[in-house]
Structure 1
Amino acid sequence: MLFITNRFPKQSIRTRIGRKFDFDLNDNAPSNSVFFCEKTGDQAYTEIGSVEFLSRLKTASYRQILIYIHGFSNLPEDVFKGAEEFQALCDKKKKKEVLVVPLIWPCDNDFGIVQDYWDDQKAADSSAYSFARVMEKFLYWRNSEAYNPHTDPCFKRINILAHSMGNRVLRETLAAWNRYDLADGVPLIFRNTFLVAADIVNESLQEGNRGELICHASRNVVVYFASDDLALRASKASNLKNKIASRRLGHTGPEDMRLTPANVYTVDCDDVNNIYDHPKGHSYFRSGRKQGQPGLVFEHIFETLLSGRVFPEDEFRRTTIIREE
């Protein structure tokens, strides 16, 4: 499995193609460097570099790429476990359709430098600068005649799935990229962006707010939320402790759909989130009632990936509720 990370390795931070890469789990500070790697076995990783990484994505037999940005309190092997489960579900639905690529940022491991939820927010914000470099590397590679000549362009569709605090990583990455590297705003680069159990304020996507760039960079933005998500309830309590009083996007959906761009859609998952992920009701976007069997939230995500449309039966519809019969 290919992946990108800004976690520090035990080795030097200097890129060396082909070297062994070991995560330093005692160091949870975000690195300014980014590493393009491949998981080759159980806790075995190799650094392959950005050019080889992007070339492999281009030549992969899969039609689409799904970048997976995980939430807080996830160690690398936790991220791989979730990504591999999602990959298996995709392959079960349609082989060679969607290739899952995790983007791994530094989270708490209970004894590292970053110690709690609040510091995970700081790590998410700081990761924006390194992942903005990833966006720049991708644009350079995509526009390079050497790597993508006009006779052989890259036709892969790119999608994003951000879970929990991974939404904060995505929001801040686009903001940093726009501020430091772009002249005319972020380009339309993602076909679908799925914001699942988003741990950002519920006004984020409104016009004029920091998360609006997510909408500019995406054809479709789909928000999956559940009011009884216990992990986000803890998030809200933590933010209140730090004097930030706002409901989370993953709890309520957008504060006011009339103020969000027209390409934002919402999916209420309140009836299934605790069935699929008991008791937290937070990671409800992969398997359903049985491990390895797709849930209805996954089914909706996958159908959107296939068609490129959130509600293909009704072009004016923007909301739905997922229920099991």
Structure 2
Amino acid sequence: MLFITNRIPEEGIKTEIGRSFTFDLFNADCSKSVFYCERKSNGSITEIGSAALLKKVKEAEYKQILLYIHGFANQPADIFKAAQEFQSLCDKAKRKEVLVIPLIWPCSDENSIASNYWDDQKSADASGYAYSRVIQKFIEWRNSKDNDPELDPCLKRINVLAHSMGNRVYRETLYNWNYYDLADGVPLIFRNSFLVAADVVNETLEPGQKGEHICNASRNVVVYYASDDLALRASKGANLKNKIASRRLGHSGPEDLTLVPKNVFSVDCDDVNTQYDYPKGHTYFRSGTRKGQPGVVFNHIFEVLLTGRVPDKTGLINTSILEPARTTSKKTTRKKRTKSKK
């Protein structure tokens, strides 16, 4: 599995192509540098560098790329497990369609969620500087003469799935990229941006807010939310302590759909989130009630990936409601044979 990280390895921050790469689990500091790596099936990791990673992505048989940005209190082993689960579901749905590439940012471990939640927000903000450099490097590579953009262009579609506080990393990445590297706003580079259980304020996608760049950089922005998400309920309490009273985007969807761009879609997951992730109802975008079997949220995401369009089954503008999958039992009816009387 290919991945990109700004976590500092035990081997030090100086990039060396071909070296072994070991996560320092006791160091959650953010590096300004990023490391482009490949993880083998046996768990060993090698730093391969940006040029090799981009070449591997270009040469891969997959048609689309999905950049996966994890949430807070996630350690590398958990992130790889989650990414592999999503990759397996994608391969089962359609082979060689979507390649999942995790972006691993530094955060605290799960044993100290309450005390380190605010520190993770700071790490998410700081990681935006590092990942804005990743996007800029990709644009430079895409337009480079060495890449033969005219003779041999890279035509893979790029999508982003940000979960929980990963949405803060995504938002800060585009904000910093626009602020430091661009003159006329962010270009349209992503086909779809999936914002799942987003731990950011629910006005963030409105024009003039930090998250507006997500809308400008994406063809579709799909927000998945659930009002009984217990992890976000705790998040709201932590933010109230720091005098931030706004509801979270992953709790209510956008504050006002009439104020966000028309490419923003809001999907209510109240009926399925706790079924898929009991009791927290926070991680509901992969498997459904059975591990390895897709849930309706995954199916919705994958349909958008395949078509580039967001299905609307409610008749409401830019709003959908996901319901649990229902199994239909087929009743067999036997026709009675009647003898014809002559």
Whole-Å Cα distance in 2 between the matches of residues 160 and 111 of structure 1?
28
2:188 aligned with 1:188: yes
Whole-Å Cα distance in 2 between the matches of residues 226 and 311 of structure 1?
18
Whole-Å Cα distance in 2 between the matches of residues 37 and 181 of structure 1?
25
Trace 1:1-325 onto structure 2 (pairs within 5 A): 1-109=1-109, 116-311=116-311, 317-324=317-324, 325=326
Whole-Å Cα distance in 2 between the matches of residues 297 and 136 of structure 1?
31
Runs of 5+ unmatched residues, structure 1: none
Whole-Å Cα distance in 1 between the matches of residues 186 and 128 of structure 2?
14
AA paired with 1:36? Y
Whole-Å Cα distance in 2 between the matches of residues 315 and 142 of structure 1?
40
Q: Secondary structure at the match of 2:40?
A: strand
Runs of 5+ unmatched residues, structure 2: 327-342
Q: 1:262 to 1:151 in 2, by over 3 A?
A: same
Deviation at 1:44, TM superposition (A): 1.6
Deviation at 1:109, TM superposition (A): 2.2
Which digits, 9 at most, give the CA deviation of each residue in 1:78-132, with x for residues without a partner? Answer: 10000000000000000000000000000102689x9610000000000011111
Which digits, 9 at most, give the CA deviation of each residue in 1:118-176, with x for residues without a partner? Answer: 00000000001111110110000000111133110000000000000000000001000
Whole-Å Cα distance in 2 between the matches of residues 314 and 252 of structure 1?
17
Q: 1:143 to 1:313 in 2, by over 3 A?
A: farther
Deviation at 1:314, TM superposition (A): 9.8
Which digits, 9 at most, give the CA deviation of each residue in 1:188-209, with x for residues without a partner? Answer: 0000000000000000001111
Whole-Å Cα distance in 1 between the matches of residues 213 and 10 of structure 2?
35
- Report the TM-score, using the length of structure 2 for normalisation: 0.92
Aligned residues of 1:227 and 1:270 also touching (Cα < 8 A):
yes
Aligned residues of 2:186 and 2:213 also touching (Cα < 8 A):
yes
Aligned residues of 2:312 and 2:319 also touching (Cα < 8 A):
no
AA paired with 1:57? V
Of stretches 90-99 and 103-112 in structure 1, the one that deviates more from structure 2 is 103-112
Q: 1:42 to 1:232 in 2, by over 3 A?
A: farther
- Which protein shows a greater Rg? 2
Q: CA RMSD in A?
A: 1.7
Aligned residues of 2:189 and 2:218 also touching (Cα < 8 A):
yes
Deviation at 1:41, TM superposition (A): 3.5
